[in-house]
Amino acid sequence: MDRTENRICWYSSLLIALMMNSPRLLALRENGIVARYWHFNLGEWSFQVLFNLVFCWLLFFLNLNSSSHFAIYRNQKKHGIYFLYNSVVVLICIIAGSAIQRICFGYKGPPGILGSGYFARFILSALLTGIIIKIILLMREAKIKELENQQLKSAYMVAELELLKEQMNPHFFFNSLSSLSGVIREDPEMAQKYLRELSTVFRYAITRPKANLVTVEAELSMLRSFAQLINLRLEGAFQLDIQVYEPYLVYKLPHLSLQPLLENAVKHNAATAMKPLKVVVDIQQEHLVISNNIWRIPQPESSNGIGLANLNERFKIMMQQEIEIIKTNELFMVKLPLKA
């Protein structure tokens, strides 16, 4: 039994003991019916209450203690033996209680009345105790099922998150190789620098934090490295402006949240030296906002939308919030919720 169950058992035992022995208090009325048959004795009444309390708690302990034979037989669905064991305990307590009271306090009433009184009180006490035991067992089952459901939910979330990240990494990898191919053809020396920056970005990408959440500062650091790759490729046709102040650098968001947005901005816009692609990162109402101007491509590449869809799913799983996408004729903006 845990601490909560132990308290329930003690409180219930006390309540049942008081309920079963409260009629004896009627003997305090000198002209009452009970007073004709039983003279009230505080010591004797206190003994009955205490013995009844111990009896109830003993039933709780034997039935709820997972290592006891009672619990073993109940779990094995050996109901006959389980009922027999409890019946023997009740019978022994009835005989012991009446015998101890007779010895310690004496009894001069009609024969059999003392034993009948113990029998009636303890049978009712056992029934009430049995009901509470059943309630506690149901609470245990509900708690176990809730824990199992939580574990399954956590396992499912981890598996789904890993699947989403595996979908994203090839997306990132193939886009990077495509960019590298273009740089190699134009400038082999620049390709060497591109490879160095690319290794930095990939090192960050494959280093998965245990909680899958990273600080804004870490994401922005990776974003700057990734922006260097884009600068090398577009040769001055790209500008990154980060306007995130220090208090927000410790906020958290899912690992690799910003890189897909920068990828999409480059993929879906025609950037030139005269019309550069401008990406701004700032904070708006506790959200990290990434926006870029739009220079439409005459013949845009086909897109399956996996980047934004993947990012949104990751935020739904890890942050219980969705990203917000705003698109106008001149601006494309994505708002990412942050975790303090």
pTM for this entry: 0.54
The model's pLDDT over 111-122, given as tens digits with 9 standing for 90+, comes to 577 788 888 889
pLDDT at 280: 95
> What does each C-alpha distance from 201 to 78, 227, 230, 267, 315 come to in angstroms?
63, 10, 12, 18, 21
Which of 88-97, 298-307, 308-317 tops mean pLDDT? 88-97
Task: Quote the CA–CA distance of 121 and 114 in Å, as a whole number.
Answer: 11
In order of start, what are the domains of the chain with their CATH numbers? 3-149 (no CATH), 193-337 (3.30.565.10)
| Contact of 209 with 258, CB cutoff 8 Å | no
Task: Quote the CA–CA distance of 300 and 292 in Å, as a whole number.
Answer: 17
The model's pLDDT over 203-250, given as tens digits with 9 standing for 90+, comes to 887 776 666 789 999 999 989 988 888 887 777 789 999 999 999 999
